[in-house]
Structure 1
Amino acid sequence: MNPKQIIKNLPYQKPFLFVDELTEISESGISGNYTFKESAFFYEGHFKENPITPGVILTETMAQIGVVCLGIFLLKDKISTTTKPQIALTSNVVDFYIPVLPNEKVTVISEKEYFRFNKLKCRVKMINSKNELVCRGTISGMIIAK
């Protein structure tokens, strides 16, 4: 399964799709990027006259690229035009270090800790275009093809 097919199988659409491109994919991990457009809905109120990307959106971006996209790749033999991935976030612990501003491009790098009994747990980090660590943590989810 190639990167465009993985993105096509994501259960999200704009304005809640936070994956522009997948750059590396293997059985043990994945990386990809996303640019937070200045026109995104969440900047209007977060914060007044000083917009930054909410932590929950950064976490969602890490989950979409680092867990869901990897999970779709790992289930590639079970996904078809009639069988779609079903996803549920089960846990996350994320530490935040620096803000992400409008129009900033980030890269998400995920390493699989394990995938068994349909539960995928990954160590995920986000870096900005200056190669600075934005946030990192562990994210787990359940993923099945149904």
Structure 2
Amino acid sequence: MYKNILNLLPYKSSFRFVDHISSLDADGVVGEYTLRPDAFFYEDHFEGNPVTPGVIVTEIMAQIGLVVLGIFLLLHDNDINFGDDELMFPLLTSTDVSFYKMVLPGQRVVVKSQKQYFRFGKLKCYVEMLDENNELVAKGTFAGIIKNAGLKK
């Protein structure tokens, strides 16, 4: 349903942390990601007892909660006109994240984001990550801009 948004994400292969978008509108997004047990970051974090690094948890929250929503908002902003062959790049400008639970290999997480504001090219969101039991894993505020890079695909 939101395949066009997924196709616009600038992340590929091992660094794309969005599997599915279940809800998306001008006020927020809900998406899911299942952590692959063979992901590159588990090999040494921690040997024999893999745990998802906090920076990866933050990246999952940013990709779903800020970048997906930001691309959607840009596509629906009549004042911005990106051509189909132009590249957009997300620029995360700030985060404030609190962690409550570990995320383990193979675990599915749900990210819920609520837009706080989108003005002057800047998007700020309140983002939560929940585990399969609907328990809070992490929450925080994310801000950033998504700009046309001036480059062609």
Q: What TM-score comes out, normalization by structure 2 length? A: 0.91
CA distance in 1, matches of 2:46, 2:85: 43
Q: Which runs of 5+ in 2 are unaligned?
A: none
Report the 3-state secondary structure (helix = DSSP H, G, I; strand = E; otherwise coil) of the residue aligned with 2:14.
coil
> What is the match of residue 9 of structure 1?
8
Paired residue type of 2:128: K
Shift in Å at residue 3 of structure 1? 1.2
> What is the match of residue 102 of structure 1?
105
Q: What TM-score comes out, normalization by structure 1 length? A: 0.95
Instruction: For residues 12-38 of structure 1, give each alpha carbon's deviation from its aligned partner in whole angstroms, at most 9, with x where no partner exists.
Output: 001000000000001000010000010
Count of matched residue positions in the alignment of Structure 1 and Structure 2: 145
The question of 1:125 aligning with 2:128 is answered: yes
Shift in Å at residue 87 of structure 1? 1.5
Report the 3-state secondary structure (helix = DSSP H, G, I; strand = E; otherwise coil) of the residue aligned with 1:101.
coil
Paired residue type of 1:49: G
Shift in Å at residue 79 of structure 1? 3.8
Shift in Å at residue 86 of structure 1? 2.3
CA distance in 1, matches of 2:87, 2:119: 19
Q: Which runs of structure 2 are paired with 1:65-144 in the superposition (5 Å)?
A: 65-77=64-76, 78-144=81-147
The CA RMSD over aligned residues, in Å, is 1.1
Report the 3-state secondary structure (helix = DSSP H, G, I; strand = E; otherwise coil) of the residue aligned with 2:90.
strand
Q: Which runs of 5+ in 1 are unaligned?
A: none
Moved over 4 A (4+): none
Paired residue type of 1:119: K
> What is the match of residue 40 of structure 1?
39
